[in-house]
Amino acid sequence: MTKRIAKVQVVREYIRKHPRQKPVQVAKAIGISIESLYKYRSQIKKIELQEHEKHWIGTVMEKELPITMIETDSVNHPAHYKVGGIETIDFIEAKGLNYNLGNVVKYITRSDHKGNREEDLKKARWYLDREIMKQHI
C-alpha cells in the first residue's frame, strides 16, 4: 500500500469516527495541512461513490430490476459548489461562518455557475443585509 493510499484510509477512518468535527479540527488531529485534508476528502468521496455504485448495481442485478441512471452527485456534490477545487460548504465550515454569512458565500460562489446570476447575487445581498441588521439590534 502506498503512503498516499494509507493516509487517505487514515483520514477516512478518522472522519467516520468523528463525523461532526470541522475540517480544521480533523486536519489538526491527524497532523496534516487543511489543503491536504481537502485533497484526501475529495479522494474519499470518489472511493465512497464507487463503493456505493458497486453495491447499488449488485443489488439491482440480484433483483433483476431495470437499471435507471440516477445522478446522485447533483444532490450530494453539485458541480456549481465545487468550482475552484473546494466545496463551498467545506469553506464555510472551515471559516466557522454563521447561517447568514454562509449563505452569502454560497450564493456568491454559485452565481456564475448555476443559471441566474442576478438572482443569486440579490439573495446574497439579502442575507448580508440581514447580518448587518443584527449588528444594530
- C-alpha 17/C-alpha 82 separation (Å) is 25
User: Per-residue confidence at 104, pLDDT binned at 50, 70, 90?
Assistant: very high
Residue 70 has pLDDT above 60, yes or no: no
Lowest-confidence segment of 20-24, 27-31, 75-79, 106-110 by average pLDDT: 75-79
Distances (CA, A) of 2 to 12, 53, 97: 15, 25, 36
The better pLDDT of the pair 55, 84 is held by 84
Instruction: Give me the mean pLDDT over the 13-27 stretch.
Output: 87
Amino acid at site 112 = D
Contact 34, 64 (CB under 8 A): no
Looking up cell 475529495, which residue turns up? 42
Place of cell 446570476: 117
Q: For the chain, give every domain's residue range.
A: 1-73, 78-137
Whole-model pTM: value is: 0.43
Residue 12's alpha-carbon distances to 32, 67, 68, 128, in angstroms, are 13, 30, 29, 35
pLDDT of residue 81: 58
More confident residue, 8 or 2: 8
Q: Are 120 and 111 in contact (CB under 8 A)?
A: yes
Is the Cα torsion angle 108, 114, 115, 120 positive or negative in sign? Answer: negative
Instruction: Count the helices and strands in the chain (H runs, E runs).
Output: 7, 0
Identify the pLDDT of residue 76. Answer: 61
58 vs 20: which has the higher pLDDT: 20
The domain 1-73: what is its CATH number? Answer: 1.10.10
